Amino acid sequence: MLTIYGVYRSRASRNYWMAKELGLSYTSVPVIQGRRLEDPLAADAPLNTQSPAFLAINPMGCIPSIDDDGLVLNESLAINLYLARKHGGPLAPRDVAEEGLMTMWTMWAATEVEPHAVRIVLTYDAGLQETESGIAAINASARSLRKAFGVLEKQLAKSGYVVGDRFTVADLNLAEVFRYTQSQKALFADHPNISAWIAACQSRPAFKAMMEARLQEPE
């Protein structure tokens, strides 16, 4: 049985979406971010990323993690690559070349896109998006993202997908990273292939089901 540790309002959303795409049965164990709690180590604190019980699963104290019949994995994007490889189907690589490409694009998103995207999200989360420092931070991140947007725009021109000619785990992983940038309307307006692609990804029933569950969680 697959167990996913993490709330929907976290990077665990990627794994919940993937599990729904694959039609997997799973147990969800909500683990909240310790930074959201006044005292994450209090006796009555909910299970969180600083709880000893969770640190026994992921010593880094980050969500998500999974336990798949005894195999414990961390890192949301790697978890999705594993689930695709294990369960097969259209989301999985057809051959070793596709597997290499899916891994490459996933690592590219994690290193070249996510750091800038997260900076934008955290600025909004802190309510600083209209302050001088917040505007400067967002603008700097948006400028840094333009090169990556250009690279993906060109890739999507080939078939509308990241790898091959169909929706795969590569699209899911990248769509979840690029979702963090959707406040930047100008970036998407300047890259129509990305705009069409992320709209298609987010129109999938599994994504909508994940987002519905996410919106039901407290902020």
Q: Are residues 117 and 35 in the same domain?
A: no
Q: pLDDT at residue 219 above 90?
A: no
Q: How many separate domains does the chain show?
A: 2
Q: Are residues 66 and 114 in the same domain?
A: no
The residue from 88, 121, 142 where one domain ends is 88
pTM for the predicted model, two decimal places: 0.96
For residue 170, being part of any structural domain is answered with yes
pLDDT reported for residue 215: 95
Pairing state between β 2-5 and 26-29: parallel
Q: What is the pLDDT of residues 113-144, one digit of tens each?
A: 999 999 999 999 999 999 999 999 999 999 99
- How does residue 43 score in pLDDT terms, banded at 50, 70 and 90? very high
- Of 107, 89, 73, 75, the C-alpha closest to 21 is 89
Q: Are residues 152 and 175 in the same domain?
A: yes
Q: What is the CATH number of the domain that holds 66?
A: 3.40.30.10
Q: Are residues 141 and 199 in the same domain?
A: yes
SS3 11: coil
CB < 8 Å & 24+ apart, contacts of 132-140: 138/183, 138/184
User: Quick one: tokens of 149?
Assistant: 């947007």
Bridge partners (DSSP) of residue 4 are 28, 66
**Full residue range of the structural domain in which residue 32 is found:** 2-88
What is the spatial distance between Cα 187 and Cα 37, in angstroms, rounded to a whole number?
34
Q: What is the pLDDT of residues 78-88, one digit of tens each?
A: 999 999 999 99
